[in-house]
A = this chain, B = another copy of it.
Amino acid sequence: MREVFHQSLEDVQARLVEIAELVTVAMEGATRAFGTSDVALAEEIIEADAVIDTKAAEIDELAIQILARQQPVARDLRIVVAALRVSASLERMGDIAEHIAQFTRMRFPERAIPKGLKSTFTKMGELDVEAARKLTELLRTEDLSLVEELRALEEQLDDLHISVFEKVLSENWQGEAAATVDATLASRYLERFADHAVSVAKKVAYLATGEWSTATDEIPVITPAITRD
């Protein structure tokens, strides 16, 4: 039974890695399409999101079946519950890549990236793709040094997100309202993507160490006094 359980867990892990890879490809394509106004590529990314959604739903179903058939307890149980959450975060990261691709389609044949923000958005896109790659690697190897690297990427993205607002709100900003709307939403999406990556990384770290990092803004899991049993 233990061996069956471990095979099942390996299956879940392999599937999470697979989705993280798809999310990486999606974000890579979405930011490339965004930067070059490649509407055909944007369409591809938008269509491909359904695959990520389906695969996330399959993981959820697999996790539920593991809970039902193998009735894990203690740490094993927490791993399966964490898998449900990781799949939800990955699915959401896929949605964000899709949103970025939708911008490109929406603005075509105009450029989606507002003038004066090209280098900022290029950098944000690169950092998000790097975050997706590191997250894939973390899910595959459980190498916890990647958690700190992901946090560092998230901080860089936060700074760039703030710099977008500073630019848009500065006296030099010449963009029309449409450019302001696009800059606001695109920056928000690109920043959220890394938030989700860090949130997954924290779960992986928690399972590996049993401890929430103190540098986190997420609250630790609290054990309420439950006496009935």
Contacts and interface: CB of A to CB of B under 8 A. Distances in A.
B181 A8 contact: no
Interface residues of A, number: 46
A48 interface: no
Given A77-B68, A81-B84, A168-B177, A61 B188 contact: no
A73 B68 contact: yes
Interface string A52-80: 01100110111011011101011001100
Interface string A85-105: 100100000000000000000
Interface stretch (A18-26, A125-133, A138-146, A218-226): A218-226
A175 interface: yes
Nearest to A78: B64
A215 interface: no
Contacts of A169: 177-178, 181
A2 interface: no
Contact of A181 (B53, B184, B219): B184
B71 A221 contact: no
Contacts of A81: 64, 67, 84
Contacts of A221: 57, 60-61
A110 interface: no
13 contacts: A50-B219, A54-B219, A54-B222, A57-B222, A64-B78, A65-B226, A68-B74, A81-B84, A84-B85, A85-B88, A88-B88, A180-B181, A184-B185
Given A7-B228, A54-B219, 8 more contacts: A4-B228, A57-B219, A60-B221, A61-B222, A62-B224, A67-B67, A71-B71, A180-B181
| Top-3 shortest CB links A-B | A180-B180, A71-B71, A184-B184
Interface of A: 4, 7-8, 50, 53-54, 57-58, 60-62, 64-65, 67-69, 71, 73-74, 77-78, 81, 84-85, 88, 165, 168-169, 173, 175, 177-178, 180-181, 184-185, 188, 219-224, 226, 228-229
